[in-house]
Amino acid sequence: MNSTDSPLPTPAELRRTALYSTLMQVPSGKVVTYGQLAELAGLGRAARWVGRTLGQLPEDTRLPWHRVLAAGGRISLPAGSLSGDEQRARLRSEGLSIFNNRVDIQRHGWRPIEHCG
Asked, for residue 71, whether it belongs to a domain, the answer is yes
**Inter-CA distances, 88 with 68, 79, 84, Å:** 11, 8, 6
Is it the case that residue 77 has pLDDT exceeding 80? yes
Per residue in 8-24, pLDDT (tens digit) is 889 989 999 999 999 99
| Higher-pLDDT residue of 66, 1 | 66
Asked, for residue 2, whether it belongs to a domain, the answer is no
Kindly state the helix (H) or strand (E) to which residue 107 belongs, with its residue range. helix 105-108
Per residue in 14-56, pLDDT (tens digit) is 999 999 999 999 999 999 999 999 999 999 999 999 999 999 9
Q: Quote the domain boundaries for residue 49.
A: 11-58+66-114
The string of DSSP letters for 20-89 reads HHHHTTSPTT-BEEHHHHHHHTT--S-HHHHHHHHHTS-TT--S-GGGEE-GGGB--SPTTSHHHHHHHH
Domain CATH code at residue 25: 1.10.10.10
Asked, for residue 4, whether it belongs to a domain, the answer is no
Q: Are strands 32-33 and 68-69 parallel, antiparallel or unpaired?
A: parallel
Indicate the pTM of the whole model: 0.88
The pLDDT-based confidence of 114 (bands split at 50, 70, 90) is low
Number of domains making up the chain: 1
